[in-house]
Structure 1
Amino acid sequence: MARRLRPVDPGFIATAPVRMVFARNISAPPERVFRALAEDVPGWAEWFAAVTRARATDGGSGREIRLWGGGRFTETVLVAEAPEVYAYRVDSTNAPGARALAEEWRLTPRDTGTRVQWTFAADGTAPFRFALALGRAGLGRAFHGAVTSLDGYVSRR
């Protein structure tokens, strides 16, 4: 059953009780990476292995995400500043123990592509925070795999 989470603003990404930051350089230029993140929402299911379905809602100001294993999220886009920052918060989810969630994708141009930095920001019950701490390495692997696939996805388009 989906539960409403506490609405947060972009400042939460820097101050959340749990913050996980991962980064990786890829060859695609920031403009193309940003388009894949912010404008091609259904494409997430093609390059992010955990995502089974993604669709834009509310004229692009929201998203609906489904994950392998049954996770469901409705989200509101907080920041869409091309080609540098794309961030969103989770408004409702079936993830137990979550109280607030937000994610930020920060894109920095490099001589040979883009540095992609993903920040996962969360608040929740003590068991939820503990589970996130245990899952940090897995989230890091998921990020690295997704960004590698994203690089290939962007280059094929």
Structure 2
Amino acid sequence: MARRLRPVAPDFVRDAPVRLVFTAGAAAAPAVVYRALAEEVEAWPSWFGAVTLARPTGGGAGREVRLVGGVRFQETVVAAEPGLRYAYRVDETNAPGMTALLEEWQLAPAGAGTRIRWTFAADGPAPFRLALTAARPGLGRSFRSAVRALDARLAERRATER
């Protein structure tokens, strides 16, 4: 059963009771990584193993996302700054426990590539916060694996465009 979550603003990424922050590098430039995140939403399942479906809604103002295991999210994009930042909050989900969730992808030049910082900002009752904190290692592995797969996908694209 889908539940509405508390709508949060982009600054929730700094103020959330639980903030999990992960970083990784990609060889592609920030503009290319941003395009993969924000403009090629339907391709997420090809590089983010936890995602089984992703599609833009509302002309790109939102997203529908489904994860392995059947978790579903209806999201609103709250920040879209090409080459710099892409963030979305979850408005509705069937996942238990959470009362608010916002994810932010920050991009920064790193040599010829990109430093990617993913922040998972959430709120919920104490058992949810504890469980999410305990899930940190798994979320970190999932993020790093996704960035490696995205980087390989973007490198393959660069090779075919030459």
Bucket of the pairwise TM-score, normalised by the shorter protein: over 0.9
Query: CA–CA distance in 2 between the matches of 1:2 and 1:155?
Result: 38
How far, CA to CA, are the matches of 1:49 and 1:153 in structure 2?
13
TM-superposed CA distance for 1:154, in Å, is 1.7
- Give the TM-score taking structure 2 as reference length: 0.95
Whole-angstrom CA distance in 2 between matches of 1:109 and 1:85 = 12
Per the TM alignment, residue 112 of structure 1 is displaced from its structure 2 partner at its CA by 2.8
Q: Distance in 1 between matches of 2:70 and 2:127?
A: 19
For each residue in 1:3-60, what CA deviation from the matched residue of structure 2 results, as whole angstroms up to 9, or x when unmatched? 0000000010010000000001111111110000000001101000000000000000
In the other structure, the counterpart of 1:120 is 120
For 2:47, the aligned partner's letter is: W
1:15 is matched with 15
**Aligned counterpart, 2:137:** 137
**Could you say what secondary structure the match of 2:104 adopts?**
strand
Name the amino acid aligned to 1:17. Answer: P
Residue in 1 that maps onto 2:33: 33
Q: Does 1:104 align with 2:124?
A: no
Number of residues paired by the alignment? 157
Partner residue, 2:90? 90
Aligned-pair Cα RMSD in Å:
0.7
Q: Report how far residue 70 of structure 1 moved.
A: 0.7
Distance, in Å, in 1 between the alignment partners of 2:80 and 2:46 is 21
Name 1:79's counterpart in structure 2: 79
Counterparts of residues 36-47 of structure 1 (less than 5 Å): 36-47=36-47
Shift of 1:97: 0.8
- Quote the Cα distance in structure 2 between the aligned partners of 1:155 and 1:82: 20
For residues 137 and 51 of structure 2, the distance between their equivalents in structure 1, rounded to whole angstroms, comes to 18
Aligned identity (percent) is 61
Give, in angstroms, the shift of residue 102 of structure 1.
0.2
2-side partners of 1:46 and 1:60: how far apart?
Answer: 19
The residue that corresponds to 2:160 in the other structure is none
Structure 1 outlier segments of 4+, above 3 Å:
none
Shift of 1:87: 0.3
Aligned residue in 2 for 1:152: 152
The separation in 2 between residues aligned to 1:132 and 1:101, in whole angstroms, is 11
What secondary structure, in the 3-state scheme, does the structure 2 residue paired with 1:98 have? coil
- Partner of 2:99, secondary structure, is strand
1:58 aligned partner: 58
